[in-house]
Amino acid sequence: MVRSYRCIFLSLSLLFTPYLPAFAGSDWTQPTPEQLKMTSDPAAPGADAVYLFVEDKVDDEHHFESFYAQIKVLTEKGKEELSEIELPIYASGFVGRYLQATGSEAGIEGRTIEPDGTVVPFTGRPYEKEVVKLNGLTFKEKVFSLPDVQVGSILEYRWTFNYGQYSLNPPDWSVQRRFFVHKAHYHFTPTGFGLVNTHDALGQGGMAANLLYYKWLPKDAKTEVLRSGDGSLTSYDLTVENIPAIPDEAFLPPLSSFSYRVRFYYSPAGNEKEFWHQEGGAWSKLVNRFADPSGGIRAAVAQIVAPGDGDDQKLEKIYAAVMSVENTDFTREHSEAENRAEGLKTKTAADIWTDKRGSGEQITELFIAMARAAGLKAYAMAITDRSDAMMNPAILDWTQLTDEIAIVNVDGKDEYFDPGERDCEFGKLDWIHTQMLGIRQTDNGTEQATAPPGSYTDNETFRKATLTVAADGTVQGQIVVTMKGVEALRWRQRALRGDAEAANKDFEKAMQARVPDGVQVKMDGFDGLTDYTTNLVATLEVSGSMRTKTGKRVFLPASFFEANVKPPFAAQKRENPIDMRYPFAEQDQVAVTLGPGLKLENLPTGAAIPLAKGGAYKTVYSQTGDGYTAVRLLALGNTIFKQDDYSMLRTFFQSGAAQDQQQVVLDRQ
């Protein structure tokens, strides 16, 4: 299975001397008078807050991590963002990181220093907040709030984790953070067990038998390898200064894929090729064991497909069958106690089919098992979630691969499926799994492969408004929105994670944000919300007013659905690549009937705007007998753009937005 945890177990036969680090009492780093008076930071103009100092120390020899931060709050937004301090995620039910009980508060100390130097100590208690459930583990984080935080305050806190003498926790140093960092110090002491001298042997990092690291740092930053007198490795040390904040730009690729960081990990492999071969082989064996087309699976498939079905027919029927299984990624994961009470034991795909319940990963492997039972060549592919990260082969860490998709060879061609994404359309991938590098099964083992991109024809949205405008500017009518692909999947999964009523309200709110000021929309409901084989259709009623009146003239927005939509790229410059998530096509059609006393005076001129790298915008306006129609088309075929493409992309969207803001002129008789 795709593993999603970082701590590594040591053999229980290994014994380490317990070591319990403690805080140095009230020995804090005292801010300077200049830092107390600071109202802005010339090193980070416009910053909401800055880190004055950060220190992170991990000791795998004694199994603890300590962290310290000193932060200056500069704006109200910074105050709001720092209202809660989040500690790293740990897993409940897994031997991993636990807060060490030292000092006054279970491993956490903190204080707020006001601009006048008054110190307010932290005396509260942290609380746990569940982040996600995955593969039987409940991932949580501890959250606490420092007292009396004001604009101008300096926040100081530190914590220590003792993660157990039989666990290792190689660090992932986030050198680049959400705020500018004036200075930071990082130190890592690996376990001495089984490690030998380091040498530069892998990518951008070094290797110590089974300890490796990957780094992406500014040119002047260097990870220093510290050695004992006999030349053996003792620890790694890094000091950095003046690190810019993580970019805050629209449509960024996954931040973890390009922000400054150093990531350590233990590995039995000595090089990239060996690692992915070994880990891929071990993962593939687990998949094959779980997705075994056993007698139970074969019997189920015999009831699902007919003898005369072609391969595509078989797959479509099997896909529909596994989609009927409860996907606990979108409902809720059942506890082991609940499963035991119901007599459920999940060991293979056959158990998932019998129980009619499983995680997305398990349902994907059930689909693979059934496809194999139907006589087809079916394979698993381990992949990342593109909304969160991208696989970097130079980082020899399998935990990069968090998801699974399925590949089935039909008539000599590989077809891709995403049954673990509840309600994903047959033969399509959710956008988060497109264009992603991963590891796939083959007839001869495993290999690196890239999932195919989506197509704009896969993701279409058609918005149609039929409106009547009276002489006083009031409007009545109806909106029908038809969706397929990503947008349909998004709203179906929104309903799964909540309910249909909540999805209705959210969709109504989203449409209300698009239409002209003064217009109200009311959601009637969705059609096809629980049927992924059909288009998803939303119907809304329209009322209110959308006119601007000047003398005898009445002005209406030419683009009804884009009246309040801002173009995606406002900044003139761009520092990073652009990820538009998924290709799409959208068409808006607005038919307006003019009531008595109104006459059409002028329609905007239509426009056609091409995007050199796979995009198009077009508007067409037509007069009818008693009104007019407006048609708007927008299509984007590519999703990934280089920084150098930004000016072209920005001009395309800005030009389209300018067309959207034109007006229809009416004459009041």
Residue 379: the pLDDT is: 98
Residue 221: the pLDDT is: 87
Residue 451: the pLDDT is: 97
Rounded Cα gap, residues 493 and 424, in angstroms = 9
**Claim to verify: residue 290 and residue 255 sit in the same structural domain:** no
Q: Convert the pLDDT of each residue in 192-248 to its tens digit.
A: 755 543 333 333 343 344 677 888 899 888 888 887 777 777 889 999 999 999 888
Domain final residue pick, 432, 452, 472: 452
CATH of the domain at 99: 2.60.40.3140
Domains held by the chain: number? 3
Residue 337: the pLDDT is: 58
Helices (H), 470-549: 486-497, 500-512
Q: Which domain holds residue 211?
A: 11-266
Rounded Cα gap, residues 158 and 67, in angstroms = 5
CA distances from 515 to 46, 284, 374, 507 (A): 33, 50, 50, 13
Helices (H), 185-310: 272-290, 295-304
Helix axes 360-373, 272-290, angle to 10 degrees: 70
**The dihedral formed by the CA atoms of 43, 44, 46 and 51, expressed in degrees to the nearest 10:** -120
**Claim to verify: residue 443 and residue 461 sit in the same structural domain:** no
CB 280 within 8 A of CB 391: no
Rounded Cα gap, residues 432 and 486, in angstroms = 10
Task: Answer whether residue 203 is part of any domain.
Answer: yes
3-state DSSP assignment of residue 355? helix
Task: Answer whether residue 61 is part of any domain.
Answer: yes
Element (H, E) at 655: helix 646-660
Q: Which residues of the chain have pLDDT under 70?
A: 1-26, 88-106, 130-140, 193-210, 256-257, 332-346, 547-550
Q: How far is CA 74 from the centre of its chain?
A: 29
Domain final residue pick, 392, 421, 452: 452
**Claim to verify: residue 231 and residue 310 sit in the same structural domain:** no
Residue 466: the pLDDT is: 98
CATH of the domain at 354: 3.10.620.30
Domain final residue pick, 231, 246, 266: 266
Residue 398: the pLDDT is: 87
**Claim to verify: residue 306 and residue 392 sit in the same structural domain:** yes
**Claim to verify: residue 216 and residue 283 sit in the same structural domain:** no
Task: Answer whether residue 230 is part of any domain.
Answer: yes
Task: Answer whether residue 297 is part of any domain.
Answer: yes
**Claim to verify: residue 381 and residue 493 sit in the same structural domain:** no
Q: Convert the pLDDT of each residue in 386-408 to its tens digit.
A: 988 899 898 888 888 999 999 99
**Claim to verify: residue 339 and residue 394 sit in the same structural domain:** yes
CATH of the domain at 519: 2.60.120.1130
Task: Answer whether residue 2 is part of any domain.
Answer: no
**Claim to verify: residue 243 and residue 211 sit in the same structural domain:** yes
Q: Name the region of 644 (left: φ>0; alpha: ψ -120 to 50; beta: rest).
A: alpha
**Claim to verify: residue 492 and residue 630 sit in the same structural domain:** yes
Q: Tell which residue, 45, 391, 40, has the closest CA to residue 245.
A: 45
Residue 396: the pLDDT is: 81
- Here the tokens at position 653 are 């969207």
CB 515 within 8 A of CB 561: yes
Task: Answer whether residue 190 is part of any domain.
Answer: yes
Q: Convert the pLDDT of each residue in 289-348 to its tens digit.
A: 999 999 999 999 999 999 999 999 999 999 999 999 999 988 865 555 555 555 556 689
Task: Answer whether residue 3 is part of any domain.
Answer: no
**Claim to verify: residue 339 and residue 190 sit in the same structural domain:** no
Residue 25: the pLDDT is: 44
Task: Answer whether residue 6 is part of any domain.
Answer: no
**Claim to verify: residue 384 and residue 441 sit in the same structural domain:** yes
**Claim to verify: residue 340 and residue 428 sit in the same structural domain:** yes
Global pTM reads: 0.83
